Structure 1
Amino acid sequence: METPFVFTLHENLPRQGPGSNACTRKAFSMLADLPARPEILDIGCGAGMQTVELARICPGCHITAVDVHQPFLDDLARSAASAGVGGRIVPLRASMDDLPFPDATFDVLWAEGSIFVVGFEKGLASWKRLLRPGGYLCLTESVWFTETPSPEAAAFWNDCYPAIKTVRETCAIAEDAGYEVVATFPLPKSAWWENYYVPVHTRIEDLRPKVAGNPEAKAQIEFAEREAAVYREHADEYGYEFFILRKNG
């Protein structure tokens, strides 16, 4: 089966979505009462920059990292070995909407920039069974920072992710799904621009001559360029919020 171009576009990038090691560390610092050797599941890990960072800041942890794209997992295995944490990270090819683990397997679920693939409400509901009592779900989700987004920003998000809501509305959904909202914080603009859009643009320029005549590639490149252009003009209106949630009971 031919690899969808969206995966090809994101290969060889440090991150497959907005984020930063500083934000990963900040979110993890908000977790309390973890066991000495917590079991962590990184869902939709991509090439796993945050996976390796988690292993660095939690030397007692064991991490299972899942993604559907094997080249990302291969990159993760190499970077984990290089960082000296490969023995505590197990890359596994699996779909986030069919995770092959028994109930109550993990102390922490981690999902930076991935829950949108299955949808926020579905992810909260379907992943909850994997957590032990009092376990944490830490994730980033797209949110509005304004109640009155501009027409251009609203049109973009209506096209690509109409489920986007405000932080307040997103917190309410999490609470209704049986989680305590421990904390939230917005990702800085640098997590989007320097850490994601700039590398994507470089990747596009490398790929463009190689995919001439490929309609799927053309459409994906045009979308990526539109996404960056909208963010450049409207970054104050939306972004990623980090949500640190704890399972009730």
Structure 2
Amino acid sequence: METPFIFTMHEGLPRQGPGSNECTRKAFSMLDDLPTQPEILDIGCGAGMQTVELARTCSGCRITAVDVHQPFLDDLARSAASAGVGERITTVRASMDDLPFPDASFDALWAEGSIFIVGFREGLVSWRRLLRPGGYLCLTEAAWFTENPSPEAAAFWNDCYPAITTVPANRAIAESAGYEVIATFPLPKSVWWENYYVPVLKRIEDLRPKVAGNPEAEAQIEFAERETAVYREHADEYGYEFFILQKKG
């Protein structure tokens, strides 16, 4: 089966979404009572920059990193080995809406920039079973930073992720799904530009002549360029919020 172009467009990039090692470490620092050798599941890990950073940050942890695209997992395995943490990271090819692990297998779940694929509420509910009592779910989710977004920003998000809502609304969703909200914080604008959009735009320019006449590829490129243009004009209105959640009960 031919690889969807959305994967091809993101292959070889350091990240498949906005984020930074600093934000990963900040979120992890808020997990106060983990065991000394926690089991962590990184859901939708992509090429795994955050996976490797978690392994560096928590020297006793073991991480299972899951993604549906094998080339991302191969990139992660190489970077983990290069960083000297490969023996503590296991990669598994699987879909995040059908995770092949027993209940109560993990002390923490990690999901930077991936839960939107299954939906915020749906991910919170379906992944909760994987956590041990008092376990943590740390994730980033797109959110409105205003109650009155501009028509252009609202139209863009209605096209790509109509479930986007405000941070307070997401906090309420998390509480109703059986979590305590430990903390949240917004990702800085720089992690969108330097860490994500600039590499994506360069990748697009490299790919554009190779995919001329491919309707799927050309549509994905057009959408990516629209996404960056909207963010350039409306970055104050929305962004990613890091949610640090703890399983109740």
TM over 0.5: yes
Aligned to 2:47: 47
CA deviation vs aligned residue, 1:185-217 (integer Å, no higher than 9, x gap):
000001101100000000000000111110000
Distance in 1 between residues matched to 2:143 and 2:109, nearest whole Å: 20
Aligned to 2:71: 71
Distance in 1 between residues matched to 2:213 and 2:159, nearest whole Å: 25
Task: List runs of 5+ in structure 2 lacking aligned partners.
Answer: none
Distance in 1 between residues matched to 2:107 and 2:190, nearest whole Å: 30
Superposition map of 1:1-249 within 5 A: 1-249=1-249
Secondary structure at 1:174 match in 2: helix
Secondary structure at 1:15 match in 2: coil
CA deviation vs aligned residue, 1:60-119 (integer Å, no higher than 9, x gap):
000000000000000000000000000000011000000000000000000000000000
RMSD of aligned C-alpha atoms?
0.3
Distance in 2 between residues matched to 1:34 and 1:18, nearest whole Å: 26
| Percentage of identical aligned residues | 85
Distance in 2 between residues matched to 1:81 and 1:64, nearest whole Å: 15
Secondary structure at 1:37 match in 2: coil
Distance in 1 between residues matched to 2:41 and 2:190, nearest whole Å: 26
CA deviation vs aligned residue, 1:14-67 (integer Å, no higher than 9, x gap):
000000000000000000110010000000000000000000000000000000
Shift of 1:123: 0.2
Secondary structure at 2:196 match in 1: helix
Distance in 2 between residues matched to 1:84 and 1:95, nearest whole Å: 27
CA deviation vs aligned residue, 1:115-157 (integer Å, no higher than 9, x gap):
0000001000000000000000000000000000000000000
Secondary structure at 1:124 match in 2: helix
Secondary structure at 1:245 match in 2: strand
Residue type of the partner of 2:92? L
Distance in 1 between residues matched to 2:32 and 2:128, nearest whole Å: 18
Give every structure 1 segment of 4 or more consecutive aligned residues whose post-TM-superposition deviation is greater than 4 Å.
none
Distance in 2 between residues matched to 1:78 and 1:134, nearest whole Å: 33
Distance in 2 between residues matched to 1:67 and 1:37, nearest whole Å: 23
When the two structures are superposed, what TM-score results if normalisation uses the length of structure 2?
Answer: 1.00
Distance in 2 between residues matched to 1:192 and 1:139, nearest whole Å: 16
Task: List runs of 5+ in structure 1 lacking aligned partners.
Answer: none
Residue type of the partner of 2:213? G
Distance in 1 between residues matched to 2:60 and 2:167, nearest whole Å: 32
Distance in 1 between residues matched to 2:91 and 2:221, nearest whole Å: 28
Shift of 1:3: 0.2
